[in-house]
Amino acid sequence: MAQVIFNEEWMVEYGLMLRTGLGARQIEAYRQNCWVEGFHFKRVSPLGKPDSKRGIIWYNYPKINQFIKDS
Q: CA quadruple 54, 57, 58, 62: dihedral positive or negative?
A: positive
Q: What is the pLDDT of residues 19-63, one digit of tens each?
A: 999 999 999 999 999 999 999 999 888 887 666 677 899 999 999
Has this prediction a pTM greater than 0.85?
Answer: no
Domain ranges of the chain: 8-68
The CATH class of 8-68 is mainly alpha
- Nearest CA among 28, 29, 20, 24 for reference residue 63: 20
